[in-house]
Amino acid sequence: MTSADVAHRAGVSTSAVSYAFNGRPGISDETRARIHAAAKELGWRPNSAARALTGARAGLVGLVIKRPARSLGTEAFYADLIAGLQAGLQEQHVALSLLVASDLEDELAIYREWTRDRRVDGVVLTDPRQGDARLDLLAALGLPAVVLGNHPSPPGQAPTVWIDDGAVTTSLLEYLWALGHRRIARVSGPEKYEHTLRRTNAMAAFLAERDAAPAEVIATDYSESEGAHAARYLLSRPAPPTAVVFDSDVLAVAGLGVAQEMGVRVPRDLSIASFDDSAMARLVRPRLTTMSRDTVEFGERAARLLLRQLDADGPVASEPGPVVTLSVRDSTAPPAAR
Amino acid sequence: MTSADVAHRAGVSTSAVSYAFNGRPGISDETRARIHAAAKELGWRPNSAARALTGARAGLVGLVIKRPARSLGTEAFYADLIAGLQAGLQEQHVALSLLVASDLEDELAIYREWTRDRRVDGVVLTDPRQGDARLDLLAALGLPAVVLGNHPSPPGQAPTVWIDDGAVTTSLLEYLWALGHRRIARVSGPEKYEHTLRRTNAMAAFLAERDAAPAEVIATDYSESEGAHAARYLLSRPAPPTAVVFDSDVLAVAGLGVAQEMGVRVPRDLSIASFDDSAMARLVRPRLTTMSRDTVEFGERAARLLLRQLDADGPVASEPGPVVTLSVRDSTAPPAAR
DNA sequence: TTGTATGCGTTATCAG
DNA sequence: CTGATAACGCATACAA
């Protein structure tokens, strides 16, 4: 079953079939329709390997995950993201190829190889950093990309689907402030990520505006153990915070466990909130107050933006991601009078 | 950069390069080494699209996930599995392609398409059922597969990496029985899955041997809501169980939440155990007693078995998966005297 | 043991 | 608008 069969069936040449399936001019609407009909009858679709060989689409989009492989299952983020990317790509019969890289060098090598072999048509980038080496490489390679970022990308760079982490931080802090919290600490992710930095800056600005003391921020690698450690440290201070915000829900749940072990009642003695929502935040008791964003939709939008990018001649514009809303649950309350 | 370049550099013909890279005879060890050296210097590796076109390897393995896309992130199982598959495949530079199917028809269509386009070299199957239609199709298509199953596969069928869910069930029940529990209920997954059935049968046999009353088993679709509903029902009975085992940790955590809401103390009034371990089981309080299996390793073994299958001429044998051990944590205790 | 010729299914080029 | 024909990069029978 080849394009020649379809051409024969439709009474045209193979190039007509090619034109019809690549939406290019030089063919009448009537023949185009006839060709599509013939292909449908025969159940034919262009062979992706042959396409990739001639430099056309591979029908595959890549995602490199740079986290320790073991931690993948711990956080729902990547799973949700993958589900969303999937959904967005499937509309155009594009598949997702997944690779786990152990470090930056690895990741860059993968992009080089993918480009060389025309293995993927484009890639999705997560966790952008400042002066991200990956963006330079991808630009040099000419490999289309979209970034899950926190601001629109500068012209000439890969477009982002962005969520303003600064604004999200401010929203959460406004809520805690309104409850009466004045000693708010934060257990964050690694400082190298842009979203971590943006949150840090927004938090500093928020507190400075209100003449409050700067927040204590403890950076972690997102692991349960570092989250627990940070929580233990904060709760052991002479004047412990009355509220702690965590950059991810794994950190928050680890922190909640520590509080419970230490006899600190949540939310009576301590309010806990997370920047990340997931099933786990809803399943633990007390249920966690979180900033919730629809990660699946985030992925879907990224997928669609990438597909548009692949079709476009020039650069496409960044666009905002899903709305982030505050889900108030049971882990936050006004601070107890002391 | 093509095989011709490498051939030129090594002073041989392109076929010699092909032979060298496909490990076939007809070439001296010395030339083979020279060819590999030349390839390494030039940073050349066979183009996967071209390979796929000639009927050789595509360098891609497929995994179809047949769950509602939204639920992917809830359970750690798939994320861990993917991480493991990744790790196993990477050794041979094989990538993983992921697709989410909404139903069986979808899934079968994907296999047909993948075969037709030589898009993947093999696939990994999860959640086998009795008389699984997918196995018949894959056999008919000649698409290599491995199954994450619960017993060695019958001859002629795709090999499995298997975990004996019956034995796992017995282990867990033995522990609960030894603690003194006599009214043990179970909140299970869908009955259509083989592993669900095996657990059901093992549990029935276990209780029958001890002349105990048959267990109450409530089937769910693995969702939080059905898990909570089942737990609520069980705890509202006139003579509620003293222990409940859950088929997954999401179900168990949902059940734990219900118990806490109803004022049932765990483990004092109720013991809870799960067949599935993950970070969540360790993060909630009380921490859950689970049967823990290394899902990442499960995936790694499946990947390696599939790679072996791809290299082999005939069928390869099924093999046991990772060992499942009981992780006793804080959610189980002897039943309170009533 | 090595080289040569051919095909895989598509797209691109260029005459018609 | 259409129809040949040449790539694309590799594998493989076959000849040397």
Tokens representing residue A214 in the block: 């700067």
Cα–Cα distance measured from residue B20 to residue B22, given in angstroms and rounded to the nearest whole number: 6
- Report the alpha-carbon distance of residue A167 to residue A151 in Å, rounded: 11
A199-246, pLDDT tens digit by residue? 999 999 999 999 999 999 999 999 999 999 999 999 999 999 999 999
Q: Residue with CA nearest D13 C1'?
A: B15
| DSSP classification of residue A22 | T
- The pLDDT value recorded for residue A338 is 53
Residue B187 has pLDDT above 80, yes or no: yes
Residues A293/A322, Cβ–Cβ less than 8 Å: yes
Q: How far is CA B171 from CA B174, B203, B211, B253, in A?
A: 5, 10, 18, 21
Instruction: Find which nucleotide's C1' atom is closest to B35's CA.
Output: C2
The nearest CA of chain A is from the CA of B95 a distance in Å of 7
Which tens digits make up the pLDDT trace of B120-176? 999 999 999 988 999 999 999 889 999 999 999 998 899 999 999 999 999 999 999
- Number of A–B residue contacts, CB under 8 Å: 166
Determine, for residues A90 and B100 on separate chains, whether the beta-carbon distance falls below 8 Å.
yes
Amino acid (one-letter) located at A134: R
| CATH no. for B60-163+294-324 | 3.40.50.2300
Q: What is the pLDDT of residue A66?
A: 82
Percent residues over pLDDT 90 in chain B: 62
Task: Dump pLDDT digits (tens) for B294-311.
Answer: 999 999 999 999 999 988
The domains spanning A60-163+294-324 and A165-292 adopt the same CATH topology: yes
**How would residue B338 be classed by pLDDT, with cut points 50, 70 and 90?**
low
Could you give the angle at which helices B3-10 and B29-42 cross, rounded to 10 degrees?
Answer: 120
> Is the separation of the CB atoms in A162 and A321 below 8 Å?
yes
Quickly list DSSP for B95-162.
Answer: EEEEEE-SSHHHHHHHHHHHHHTT--SEEEE-S-BTT-HHHHHHHHHT--EEEEESSPPPTTS--EEE
All residues at 6 or more sequence positions from B271 whose CB lies less than 8 Å from its CB, including other chains: B176, B179, B181, B242, B243, B244, B289, B331, B332, B333, B335
Cα–Cα distance measured from residue A332 to residue A39, given in angstroms and rounded to the nearest whole number: 59
pLDDT confidence of residue B69: 61
Percent of chain B with pLDDT over 70: 98
Please provide residue B305's backbone torsions phi and psi, each rounded to the nearest 5 degrees.
-65, -40
Query: Is there a contact between B151 and B160 (Cβ–Cβ < 8 Å)?
Result: yes
CB-based contacts of A225, cutoff 8 Å, min separation 6: A254
pLDDT band at residue A55 under the 50/70/90 scheme: confident
Q: Which residues of A touch B284 (CB under 8 A)?
A: 253, 257, 283-285
A292-301 mean pLDDT = 94
| Residue entry with tokens 């005297």 | B337
Residue with tokens 């069936």: A9
DSSP string computed for A268-301: TT-EEEES---HHHHHSSSPPEEEE--HHHHHHH
The per-residue pLDDT for range B69-99, each reduced to its tens digit, is 666 667 788 888 988 998 899 888 788 998 8
Is A284–B283 a contact, with Cβ atoms under 8 angstroms apart?
yes
**Chain B nearest CA to A154, separation (Å):** 32
Q: Determine contact, residues B266/B272, Cβ cutoff 8 Å.
A: yes
**Which tens digits make up the pLDDT trace of A84-118?**
998 899 888 888 998 888 889 989 988 998 888 88
Cα-Cα-Cα-Cα dihedral sign, residues A74, A75, A78, A81: positive
pLDDT score for A137? 94
Burial class (CB in 10 A: 0-12, 13-18, 19+), A72: buried
Work out the minimum CA distance from B43 to partner chain A, whole angstroms.
Answer: 10
Under 8 Å between Cβ of B148 and B125:
yes
Q: What is the dihedral of CA A189, A195, A200, A204, to 10 degrees?
A: -160
Cβ neighbours of B1 in A, within 8 Å: 116
Which CATH code for domain B165-292?
3.40.50.2300
Confidence of residue B62 (pLDDT cuts 50, 70, 90): very high
B152 cis-preceded (ω within 30 degrees of 0): no
CATH code linked to domain B3-46:
1.10.260.40
d(CA A336, CA A176): 13
Output DSSP code: residue A129: B
- Domain residue limits, chain B: 3-46, 60-163+294-324, 165-292
Looking at CA atoms only, how far is residue B1 from chain A in angstroms? 9
Quote the CA–CA distance of B79 and A70 in Å, as a whole number.
Answer: 9
Residue B318 has pLDDT above 60, yes or no: yes
CA of A4 to C1' of C15 (A): 21
CA–CA distance, B314 with B296 (Å, rounded to integer): 27
Protein contacts on strand D: list nucleotides below 7 Å from a Cβ.
Answer: 1-5, 7-14
CA of A38 to C1' of C12 (A): 23
What is the average pLDDT value for chain A, to the nearest integer? 91
Residue B212 CA and nucleotide C2 C1' are separated, in Å, by 76
Residues B6-32 have pLDDT tens digits of 888 888 888 888 888 887 777 888 888
Kindly report each contact of residues B210-219 with a partner whose C-beta sits within 8 Å and lies 24 or more positions away, as own/partner: B210/B177, B212/B182, B213/B183, B215/B184, B215/B185, B215/B186, B216/B185, B216/B186, B216/B241, B217/B185, B217/B186, B217/B187, B217/B188, B218/B185, B218/B186, B218/B187, B218/B188, B219/B188, B219/B189, B219/B190, B219/B191
**Average pLDDT in chain B:** 91
> What per-residue confidence (pLDDT) applies to A42?
85
Query: Least CA distance to B49: which residue of chain A?
Result: A49
Residues from chain A contacting residue B2 (CB–CB below 8 Å): none
Reported residue count of chain A is 338
SS3 per residue for A166-232? HHHHHHHHHHHHHHCCCCEEEEECCCCEHHHHHHHHHHHHHHHHCCCCCCCEEECCCCHHHHHHHHH
A60 contacts in B (CB within 8 Å)?
97
What are the b/e assignments for B168-206, b being 16+ CB within 10 Å? bbbbbbebbbebebebbbbbbbeeebbbbbbbbebbeeb
Top-ranked range on mean pLDDT: pick from A78-87, B33-42, B143-152: B143-152
Which of A53, A95, A250 is nearest residue B99 as measured by Cβ atoms?
Answer: A95
